[in-house]
Amino acid sequence: MKYLSILNKTQYKAVTTIDRPTMVIAGAGSGKTRVLIYRLIHLIKSGVKSRNILALTFTKKSANEMKYRLSSLIDKNELDQIYIGTFHSIFAKLLRKNSDLIGYKKNYIIYDRYDSEKIIKKIIKNLNLDKKIYRSKYLLDKISMIKNHYFNERNLYITNIYANYKKYCYQNGIMDFDDILLYTNILFNKNPEILKKYQEYFKYILIDEYQDTNYSQYRIIKLLSLKHNNIFVVGDDSQSIYSFRGANINNILNFKKDYKNAVIIRLEQNYRSTKYIVDVSNQIISLNKRKIDKKLWTNNKIGKKIKLYKAFSSFEESDFVANTIDQLKKKKKLKYSDFGVLYRTNAQSRSLEESFIKKKIPYNIYGSISFYKRKEIKDLIAYFRLIVNINDEESLIRIINYPKRGIGEVTLKKIFFLSKQNDKRIFEILKNINNYKSIINRDQKILDNISNFCNKILFFNKRLDEDAFILSKEISESFGLLEEIKKDKIKQGIDNVEEFLNSISTFVEDKKKIKNEEISLNAYLESLYLDLDLDYKFNNLTKESVSLMTIHLSKGLEFPIIFIIGLEEKIFPSILSISSQLEIEEERRLFYVALTRAKEDIFLTFSKNRYKWGKIVPTICSRFVKEIDKKYIKYIKNDLNHKKFDDTSLLGSYTNNLKEGMIVYSNSFGRGKIIKIEGQIITVYFNNIGEKKILNTKLKIIY
């Protein structure tokens, strides 16, 4: 069989071991997908009927890729009979065929999270609960945990909301994604004849990314495999990073206990990365106690040491990343798509985006949206724009009822009508809302809310010459925006707002160092939109771009060169994940995932200082960096006379052609920014010592 001849010894064993429980521990870059594909082919070649094979994945993309690769290797009729799909897609079809047994009609509909939240909001209203305390997103997360982990919630209010939600869904023929797995378990447990039927259908079960399964998925798989015991799972405990979604690492760790006579096969040869990268990854993950022993190895070249760069600030860190990519691309004739920049949280993309825009480097925020397009940021910007210009009606319409002021669509239509009829701006109508009581026909409380909103807008409008950071923070607090975001209990939104306010603080501090520069809110918005316009124009010129993403989203991807930024305590590991050894081990697995995305080169960066809510705060280098043996690290000094990447051509020559705003380098004081030029005397703000006057002949231009 030709397809078997291209496998290595352990891959061959994994593909050909059938008729017993088998777990393949597939290390990063070890050819996991090839094993899954060839095992499916081998089962068919060995006489197993296609219709008796069930192959489960976690994403539609993975399922489609599996089908695509099989399409050129087996007959179409054979392929069409294999059950290949995600947990939800396969079991949704199964439930529809047996819906009467769980009390549902065949035409039930599946609601996504957005639709489910609307139901929760309706229930909160019907139960007369305070929607400021009972937030729909938080409650839906709690309900999801109850369904997937089968535990009893002690909070009576949450229990009551769940009971009402369950009743509403049942009465209206609705299921959410969690219900698909929940009702599949109920179907099998309450109907032994149905379970027996599907056990005969699915005699051979294959599961990809087994480390990501939750308890509900685990129970379904256990029930289906009880009779024939032909279960084949592929996964890597070292890449178990989704506990926040309900994934349970114990499922993979306890496989041998769950299935008697199970075979454990380790794919340890890495085909992706250099020897240095493989060795560092092994060293890091070896520090975890809860793991399945394995040691990756590779026949690839030894490669380069891991580069470590300490920046003075997050902005310098981002500049370093952008400049390094620009230099390496030119020097080594690389493509922008050869670079991946990874970070722990989405909020970290903001300073990166600004540095990339400045250097005209096209980028793509993978699996997310650009920082300034995120809802909470657009809401804040809309407030700022309206305060600067009370006639900005697009911004006004966006935030008139955020946070909620009791202004619905009907009221808005009446306001629009009054604006048109009286030939007045919308804000003018709102400002004098009490003059239109009879037409608006709303409670006085709602009218007072509108009046208060307008008075605050006008109050801040009179203060536009003030410090943009102080004013923006006061606006955020005065209108209850920070409180509203914190109520949602979604840390990402809070982080994004903090990072946005940090950007305003940085703008103000930079402008203060330059004579006669405006530090107003209007000046900040002007600067921001000029940058965003440049971003739009440049990123739409080319599809070739650097990928920016969280480490969670990078799983399954690979790049020749990887940057892992923000390696500081309380960022990575996250401040939310340092209270227990289990949490630290998952953060370490996340670092392992980041390292193993790289094929050739890795740059680790951290910042000596970082802005927190507009204030500069000193940081501590991440414990994960300190866990790397020094023999694997090349330290890049924050001192540009040091030969970075063995390329002495990165710096310009000493020159008189200096301009305000340029980033320059001095042998004595390091890196800084020109803030004033007076003949041959240049005033520079240096990163490490602050403001200093220096002769122009002592400076080199960086950019």
| pLDDT per position as a tens digit, 297-321 | 999 999 999 999 999 888 889 999 9
Annotation says 239 is catalytic: yes
Annotation says 211 is catalytic: no
Q: What residue spans define the domains of the chain?
A: 2-94+181-269, 109-172, 373-487, 651-701
Would you say 556 is a known binding-site residue? Answer: no
Can you tell me the distance from the alpha carbon of 408 to that of 552, in angstroms, rounded to the nearest whole number? 38
Would you say 683 is a known binding-site residue? Answer: no
Could you check whether the bond before residue 573 is cis, i.e. omega within 30 degrees of 0? yes
The pLDDT value given to residue 112: 76
Answer yes or no: is pLDDT of 474 > 90: yes
Greatest mean pLDDT range, 95-104, 111-120, 161-170, 582-591: 582-591
Assess if CATH 3.90.78.10 describes domain 373-487. no
Would you say 103 is a known binding-site residue? Answer: no
| Window from 103-117, 120-134, 384-398, 448-462 with minimum mean pLDDT | 103-117
pTM flag (> 0.85):
no
The active-site residue, picked from 176, 178, 179, 208, is 208
What is the mean predicted confidence (pLDDT) over 109-119? 81
- From the candidate CATH numbers 2.30.30, 3.40.720, 1.10.101, 2.70.98, the one assigned to the domain spanning 651-701: 2.30.30
The active-site residue, picked from 294, 588, 597, 671, is 597
Would you say 30 is a known binding-site residue? Answer: yes
The pLDDT value given to residue 110: 79
Query: 287 Cβ partners below 8 Å, 6+ apart?
Result: 588, 627
Q: Into which CATH architecture does domain 109-172 fall?
A: Orthogonal Bundle (1.10)
| Window from 21-30, 473-482, 508-517 with minimum mean pLDDT | 508-517
How much of the chain, in percent, has pLDDT values that exceed 70? 91
The active-site residue, picked from 11, 32, 310, 671, is 32
Query: 164 Cβ partners below 8 Å, 6+ apart?
Result: 123, 126, 127
What is the mean predicted confidence (pLDDT) over 31-58? 93
516 pLDDT tier (thresholds 50, 70, 90):
confident
The active-site residue, picked from 16, 17, 33, 327, is 33
CA distances from 514 to 402, 545, 610, 695 (A): 37, 34, 22, 18
What confidence tens digit (pLDDT) does each residue in 193-219 have?
A: 999 999 999 999 999 999 999 999 999
Annotation says 597 is catalytic: yes
Annotation says 171 is catalytic: no
Would you list the DSSP string of 19-75?
Answer: SS-EEEEE-TTS-HHHHHHHHHHHHHHTT--GGGEEEEESSHHHHHHHHHHHHTTS-
The pLDDT value given to residue 300: 97
The pLDDT value given to residue 654: 41
Is pLDDT larger for residue 246 or for residue 224? 224
The pLDDT value given to residue 647: 32
Annotation says 209 is catalytic: yes
Answer yes or no: is pLDDT of 688 > 70: no
Is pLDDT larger for residue 654 or for residue 682? 682
Average pLDDT in the chain: 87
The pLDDT value given to residue 543: 59
What is the mean predicted confidence (pLDDT) over 571-591? 93
Would you list the DSSP string of 85-109?
Answer: EEHHHHHHHHHHHTGGGGT--TT-E
How much of the chain, in percent, has pLDDT values that exceed 90? 48
Annotation says 208 is catalytic: yes
State the CATH class of domain 2-94+181-269.
alpha beta
Would you say 63 is a known binding-site residue? Answer: no
Going by C-alpha positions, the residue among 461, 485, 491, 499 that lies closest to residue 383 is 461
Can you tell me the distance from the alpha carbon of 633 to that of 345, in angstroms, rounded to the nearest whole number? 25
Can you tell me the distance from the alpha carbon of 210 to that of 681, in angstroms, rounded to the nearest whole number? 65
Written as one letter, the residue type at 15 is V
Query: 688 Cβ partners below 8 Å, 6+ apart?
Result: 312, 669, 670
What is the mean predicted confidence (pLDDT) over 602-629? 90
User: Residue 518 is encoded by which pair of tokens?
Assistant: 């405006």
Answer yes or no: is pLDDT of 648 > 60: no
What confidence tens digit (pLDDT) does each residue in 351-396 have?
A: 898 889 888 899 988 866 667 778 888 899 889 989 988 877 878 8
Answer yes or no: is pLDDT of 644 > 70: no
What confidence tens digit (pLDDT) does each residue in 149-198 have?
A: 766 666 777 888 999 999 888 887 888 889 999 999 999 999 999 999 99
Would you say 29 is a known binding-site residue? Answer: yes
